[in-house]
Every structure is written in structure tokens, then in C-alpha cells.
Amino acid sequence: MSCNVPKTDKKRVVIVGGGFGGLKLAQKLKKSNFQVVLVDKNNYHQFPPLIYQVASSGIEPSSIAFPFRRIFQKRKDFYFRLAEVKSIMPEKNMIQTSIGKLSYDYLVLASGTTTNFFGNKEIEENSIPMKTLSESMGLRNALLDNFERALTCASPQERQELLNVVIVGGGATGVEIAGALSEMKNFVLPKDYPDLPNSLMNIYLIESQDRLLSAMSQKSSDNVLKYLRSMGVNVLLNQRVTDYKDHIVYINDGSTIATRTFIWVTGVTAQVVGQMPADKVGRGGRILVDAYNRVKGMDNVFSIGDQCLMLDADPQWKGGHPQLAQPAIQQGNLLASNLKRLEKGKKLKPFRYKNLGSMATVGRNKAVAEFAGMKMGGFFAWLMWLVVHLRSILGVRNKFIVFFNWMINYFSYGQSLRLIIYAKKAKEVVEREKRLAQTHV
């Protein structure tokens, strides 16, 4: 197979990853006199902040995903290729992908992160991560399937395993999925499963530190803890999960929890880039870059977003920027300008992150938000969270559908999205994937 991108007299910018940073960069390079090639293993851009709502059957998967080809319709000198990058060959200005080699004049690595299991193979093989849209759909299926099985299982022990949910990680994703599942327990189960007492469902949120949302203020952490406990979530602080096997979660204090729904959202690590020299990789597998997001020691290779680590270059963020959407978007925006400056022989501008604040929601009328020195919680923070996230979703149709589902959820939780659907790949696709894997071993 071949990437089949035509050669032109224009310089080629290859962007690996269509997340927030890669997408912003590709959009800003419009009419830039570059040929732009976007490479991603999915054919769509996903909106990670709302992935947990797919897992809890709150919104449709397609509402927070938008096809790349739809975004860049009628765009000249733009090419999208569905592929995975296996390695880079900077000495040849080339990357090896799952569909062939692709040359570049400028390479931008923006593949983001993946779930960090901290070397625990048992947890990696048996837990349910929630980093991607497909993983959130897997969690949705597992939850609904467990509810169905709990109605017909043979023993009380198995029933309790099916109805216990353990979430590891007290960051924004952890508290948001805990809140969403608590609302499912309190409002959905009594309607959909009237012969299954919702009191049997237990939700545990385990955090190794002494508070939730460690990236936010103590006040916001306290508010979130209060909200979750009032909703019936069992929050365990200063507790660390050591293992998970045979449907048992093992905690460092010697206690255990029986569950068949073990959700792991406690950390991330940067996507690995094959043949990237070890001296260019820093903490968390992140690629070391300078103030211009250029990979150290490489003139024409850049990295942006969660995948990169900018140390000491930004005075206010000497330990690196947070792995959030805004740094990626701002870096993509600036890099587009800098690439244009490079072509004109102009001086590059260093990156300076503008912190626009952070927020997290726990449930209806319950959220925390921090921005411009202000800290708020409750209804107004929740309303702000809704507005910010609704504005950020791509596509008018998607905005409308998400807003419509939110309104239904707010008044009745009556939407019909609780479907158990297991996708089956066509034989042709499975065989092609096997052939490609064997070709590029």
C-alpha cells in the first residue's frame, strides 16, 4: 500500500494526530502555500471532555465526533490519510506509517496521550480505560450488559460484583464519570430496571492523594467531594489500588472491593513515537521541545499538545504545561504562524500559555469553575460549564443534538440511548489489518 500523496512544488507539512492541537494547526494553515497532510488512526476528531457522557448513555457517540473529511471539504492542498505512524526517520525527512512511507518538509507530532497503567499488566488487561470514544462505548456496553446480567445471575455474590463500580483516579474524568453514574443509579435504574433495587449499586471513587482535582484549588476540591458524597458516591482518599484480578480490586491498606466494572482513569502517558531518540523524551514519555515547539536537536520536526514537554521555555510553566485542550489549541495556533514565518525568513515567536481557567462538573446543577482569579461552585459554575463545552463542539448539528440531550436529561433522563451494540468488523477489514500488521513488523 502507499500513502499516495502527490508531489507538488509546495513544501509539505505532515501533521500526525487530529486532536485539538493538530486540528487547529491544520485549520490555520489554510491558504498558507503549504501542502498539508493529516495522518490519524481514526477518521474523525473526537471531543474528549464529553467522552464520559457517552459511557453513561447521556449523549450519542456521533455527537462528539466529526469526520476529518467533512471538516476539510473543498480544501485545496489538503490530504487526510487513515493510518498509524510506526516510526520516524528524521535523517530522511520521512515517516513510516501502516500504509507506507511519507516524506515531509515539516513534521508535527500531535498524537496526544494514552492511558498510563504504570506497568501493571493485570490492570492493563482487565480494567476499562476511558480515553477514547471507542473505549467509552465499550464501557457503556459493559455497564448495561452488567445490569441485564444482574437480573438473572445465579448468586448474590455475582450480582454484587456486577453492580459494584470502581473508578480509579480523582481528576476531572474520574469525578465526572462518578457523578454521571450516580445519576444513572438514582434516576435511570428505577425506571429501566424496576425489579432491580438501585440500592444494590455501589459506586467507589479511589484517589491516591488527599483530595480530588489536585490541579484545582482546595475550595473546588472540597466542593466536589461534598457533591459526590451527597450523591451517594463512596470516595476513598489516600488509597492506592495495587492490583485487580479475578474481579477483585486490591487496595494498599489491605481492603478489597469485588467488581466487574473496574474503570481506570488515573493517569496518561504520551503516545510512543518509534525510533525517537531517548534523549529527546522526558517525563511521562513526552517529547522535549523548545520555546517554539521544535523537537530539541531537530530543525524541521515539531511537537504540540499533550505529547510534548516544554521545560523552562515558558517562564510561568517551567515544569511543563498541563495536558489540557487549551495548551494544545494555543500551540497549534502559534505553530501555524511560525511555520509561515519560517518560509518568509522571519523570526519565530516563543510560546506563552494563557491560562483560561479550568472546570469540572459532577452532575445536574453541580460543578466547579476557576478563571481570572475567581472560584465558583454550584449552579452558575454548572451553567458556565455547559456553555463552554457546547461552544467547543464541532458542527451546528452536533451542538443542537448535545443541547437537546442535555435538556432531556435535565428534566426526565428519558432519552433512548441505552443500547448494547457490539460492533463486528467485516472479514475484509480484519484480513487487511492482519496483512498490514505483518508487512510492517
Strand partners, 212: none
Instruction: Sketch out the chain's domains with CATH numbers.
Output: 11-41+83-115+269-344 (3.50.50.60), 121-266 (3.50.50.60)
**273: exposed, middle or buried (C-beta count within 10 Å: 0-12, 13-18, 19+)?**
buried
Q: Which three cell numbers, joined as nine digits, stand for 268? A: 496518561
Is the distance from CB of 192 to CB of 418 less than 8 angstroms?
Answer: yes
Return the exposure string of 120-137: e unless at least 16 CB atoms fall within 10 Å of the residue's CB, then b: beebeebbbbbbbbebbb
Q: What is the pLDDT along the chain (441 residues), one digit of tens a residue?
A: 578 999 999 999 999 999 999 999 999 999 899 999 999 999 999 999 999 999 998 888 889 999 999 999 989 999 999 999 999 999 999 999 999 999 999 999 999 999 999 999 999 999 999 999 999 999 999 999 999 999 999 899 999 999 999 999 999 999 999 999 999 999 889 999 999 999 999 999 999 999 999 999 999 999 999 999 999 999 999 999 999 999 999 999 999 999 999 999 998 999 999 999 999 999 999 999 999 999 999 999 999 999 999 998 888 898 899 999 999 999 999 999 999 999 999 999 999 999 999 999 999 999 999 987 789 999 999 999 999 999 888 888 888 888 888 887 777 766 667 888 887 778 887 787 787 777 655
Give me the DSSP letters along 52-110: HHHHTTSS-GGGGEEEHHHHTTT-TTEEEEE--EEEEEGGGTEEEETTEEEE-SEEEE-
